[in-house]
Amino acid sequence: TAMSDAAEKPAKPHLPDAQIVQSVKHWTDRLFSFRVARPKTLRFRSGEFVMIGLLGETGKPLLRAYSIASPSWDEELEFYSIKVPDGPLTSRLQHIQPGDEIILRPKPVGTLVVDALLPGKRLWFLATGTGLAPFASLMRDPEVYEKFDQVIMMHTCRQVAELEYGRQLVEGLRDDPLIGEIVGEKLRYYPTTTREEFSHMGRVTDNLASGKVFTDLGLPKMNPEEDRAMVCGSLAFNVDVKAILEGFGLREGANSDPKEFVVEKAFVGDGI
Ligand code: FAD
Ligand code: A2P
């Protein structure tokens, strides 16, 4: 699964709001990531999403919401994507190659931003599947480590292979010449699986509710004085995590009303 690079294809996009694909990496038969050139004028806050897509059969853009997985200081934009076999967009998007064009509407929005949380001691990122994407951005943002003493990334997938993108990202961070020193020992990573044997297992919800994750990491039980959280997964996951966080006394906030946690859907629908 070596990275291929942008060669031999035109360097300038033709479509409106188009960007050139720089590299593509396939992680499993259902997951891939890719990087595109960043529009010079695009500013965003780590954790936000944009609309991206391809030109549809009718000549109209076919767009979907995508979290930007790269941090706000990166020169390129990275995305982490599902491949839905009969999905209108991803059945085609999964075949993009370096040099191809994708459409990217440069209007970033979203609730998973540090500004939507009150100051705190620890920041929890709680994700399933491609819900990791906004945290792939936030985990690489120095602002997160300036504002919080500890950052905990909990990511749950069915299979071990589905954790690999996140695992490599976290591993690479510690040695990163740009932010390795800032991240240091502040980032704790707690990946689990639910349907394949792995060193740590169980749903995010179960590991929070039972207190297992606090014991394993040697941390106090989540509390509204010290802990902040960001949640990104399926609707069912988000609903269940929200209830648990509220049980710990945390309240849901928003950009306009910062509180102790924020939630965003990783996708609309029941999952594949
Ligand atoms: P769609 O018709 O959009 O989806 C078909 C069905 O596939 C859905 O009903 C759902 O059941 C399932 N599905 C769609 N997306 C996912 C997914 N990510 N994981 C599991 N099942 C899924 N997708 C990403 O891959 N990466 C992202 O960073 C990302 N960020 C998003 C941010 C927001 C705020 C929202 C609302 C969605 C995001 N999505 C993301 C989902 C994305 O918008 C599309 O749904 C996805 O690309 C599939 O598009 P499609 O046209 O192929 O199929
Ligand atoms: P499980 O295998 O026990 O269903 P999916 O692929 O269905 O989107 O799920 C991705 C991961 O999220 C799986 O590990 C799944 O666990 C877990 N999950 C699904 N729904 C929930 C939920 N409501 N609460 C917590 N975890 C969930």
Domain boundary assignment for the chain: 18-109, 114-265
Tell whether the torsion through CA atoms of 102, 103, 105 and 106 is positive or negative: positive
Q: Which CATH class is domain 18-109?
A: mainly beta
Amino acid symbol at 100: D
Map tokens 């740009």 to a residue: 178
Residue 12 pLDDT > 70: no
Contact in structure between 166 and 153 (CB atoms under 8 Å): yes
Question: Which candidate, 180, 176, 114, 108, places its Cα nearest to that of 143?
Answer: 114
Q: What is the pLDDT of residue 2?
A: 47
Residue 1 pLDDT > 60: no
Question: Which candidate, 160, 139, 161, 158, places its Cα nearest to that of 150?
Answer: 139
3-state secondary structure 149-207: CEEEEEEEECCHHHHHHHHHHHHHHHCCCCCHHHHCCCEEEEEEECCCCCCCECCHHHH
Distance separating alpha carbons of residues 256 and 54, to the nearest angstrom: 33
Average pLDDT on 85-93 reads 97
13 band by pLDDT with thresholds 50, 70 and 90: low
270 band by pLDDT with thresholds 50, 70 and 90: confident
Mean pLDDT score of the chain:
94
Q: How far does Cα 80 stand from its chain's mean position?
A: 7
Q: Which CATH class is domain 114-265?
A: alpha beta
- 67 vs 11 pLDDT, higher one: 67
Distance separating alpha carbons of residues 48 and 64, to the nearest angstrom: 14
**Lowest pLDDT segment from 2-16, 58-72, 100-114, 232-246:** 2-16
- 194 vs 5 pLDDT, higher one: 194
pLDDT digits (tens, 9 = 90+) for 159-172: 999 999 999 999 99
Amino acid symbol at 40: K
Question: 18-109 and 114-265 share one CATH topology?
Answer: no
Which ligand is closest in space to the CA of residue 198?
2
pLDDT digits (tens, 9 = 90+) for 173-200: 988 988 999 998 999 999 999 999 999 9
C-alpha R_g of the chain: 18
Pocket of ligand 2 (CB under 6 A): 128-129, 156-158, 194-195, 203-205, 234, 236-237, 240, 271
Average pLDDT on 125-151 reads 97
Predicted model pTM = 0.95
| CB of 66 shorter than 6 A to ligand 1 | yes
3-state class (DSSP) for residue 213? helix
3-state class (DSSP) for residue 258? coil
Q: What is the dihedral of CA 256, 261, 266, 268, to 10 degrees?
A: -70
Degrees to nearest 5, angle at CA 113 with 148 and 241 = 85
Residue 100 pLDDT > 70: yes
CA of 237 to the centre of ligand 2 (A): 7
Q: What is the pLDDT of residue 58?
A: 87
| CB of 271 shorter than 6 A to ligand 1 | yes
Q: To the nearest whole percent, how much of the chain has pLDDT over 70? A: 95
Between β-strands 31-37 and 18-28, what pairing exists: parallel, antiparallel or unpaired?
Answer: antiparallel
3-state class (DSSP) for residue 17? coil
pLDDT digits (tens, 9 = 90+) for 229-238: 999 999 999 9
